[in-house]
A and B are shown apart, each in its own frame.
Chain A
């Protein structure tokens, strides 16, 4: 998977490195801003109220 992506990145090494970094940052951003906030209520670390 990672090798396949690397092979399909265009351009010389420097450009590939840059593209790969941007890709990784974009994925992290999507996780931080949308995926993790949706997942947070499903994990049981954050309960601080009393109730059922």
Chain B
């Protein structure tokens, strides 16, 4: 009889442990899919606000008028140099009009470690800085941690990717997209897919996971430098197209 009781207690104990493990796993999914967004969105908003403050940005210049003047300003000379950021620091803000008017502009931090990508979009160290000749390579989450690149697969050729720094706005235009295997470091080479070749163009590459909720492949967006303008000119016309400007300039 005692043995029977012992067995019963043991079986019940194991059953409860398994139920508990199941609950913990469900909680983990909830945390990953929901809570990391909550936390990261808040953190990234603070970092973006901090950057604006640090840069002394005027409180929200209104977005450009609906119909920007024909033939926007002629090229204004070579884009300004961006100082090499210290690892882990936020040094730019990325705007993608295609992601919608309610898309929260994301900070760009130096480095692509998982812990850094909680703070925004990661800049691959050693790749070009905004406006430079070469390839500005950025990595972002497509799901979880604020999912800055959630809608990356909706982007179409010609779509603007705008990098905002202390001094200037840099507008890049999407050229193409593709899906590659994770080991393809050549997509962030100065000339994408041609490692070792000296760059002549100003390019930008975005990387995100693919398919969503998986790490099997990477979704890649290639973009080409279009224009730049100093911060004092206000947000570029590119932010007023394709789904409106970023949150903070939206009414």
Dominant SS among interface residues on chain B: mixed
Known: A31-B24, A39-B28. A49 touches B122 (CB 8 A): yes
- Cα-based distance from A38 to B226 in the complex (angstroms): 41
Distance between B43 CB and nearest chain A CB, rounded to angstroms: 13
- Cα-based distance from A48 to B116 in the complex (angstroms): 12
Distance between B6 CB and nearest chain A CB, rounded to angstroms: 15
B208 x A32 contact (CB < 8 A): no
Distance between A49 CB and nearest chain B CB, rounded to angstroms: 4
Distance between B51 CB and nearest chain A CB, rounded to angstroms: 22
A48 x B183 contact (CB < 8 A): no
Is residue B227 contacting chain A, with contact meaning CB distance below 8 A? no
- Cα-based distance from A40 to B20 in the complex (angstroms): 19
Query: Chain B contact residues (Cβ within 8 angstroms of A): what range?
Result: 35 or more
B215 x A44 contact (CB < 8 A): yes
Q: Which residues of B contact A1 (CB under 8 A)?
A: 13, 16-17, 20
- Cα-based distance from A29 to B13 in the complex (angstroms): 24
Is residue B98 contacting chain A, with contact meaning CB distance below 8 A? no
A45 x B215 contact (CB < 8 A): yes
The residue in B140, B145, B182 that gathers the most chain A C-beta atoms within 10 A of its C-beta is B182
The interface of chain B, by Cβ under 8 A from chain A, is 13, 16-17, 20, 24, 27-28, 31-32, 35-36, 112, 114, 117, 122, 124, 139-145, 149, 180, 182-185, 187-188, 207-209, 213-215, 218
Listed by A's residue number, 21 A-B pairs whose Cβ atoms lie within 8 Å are A1-B20, A31-B28, A36-B31, A40-B114, A41-B114, A44-B215, A45-B32, A45-B209, A46-B141, A46-B209, A48-B142, A48-B149, A49-B124, A49-B182, A49-B207, A49-B218, A50-B187, A51-B112, A51-B182, A51-B183, A52-B185
Extra contacts besides A46-B114, A49-B207 (18): CB < 8 Å: A1-B16, A31-B27, A31-B31, A32-B27, A32-B35, A36-B27, A40-B36, A40-B114, A46-B215, A48-B139, A48-B149, A48-B207, A48-B209, A48-B218, A49-B218, A50-B180, A50-B188, A50-B207
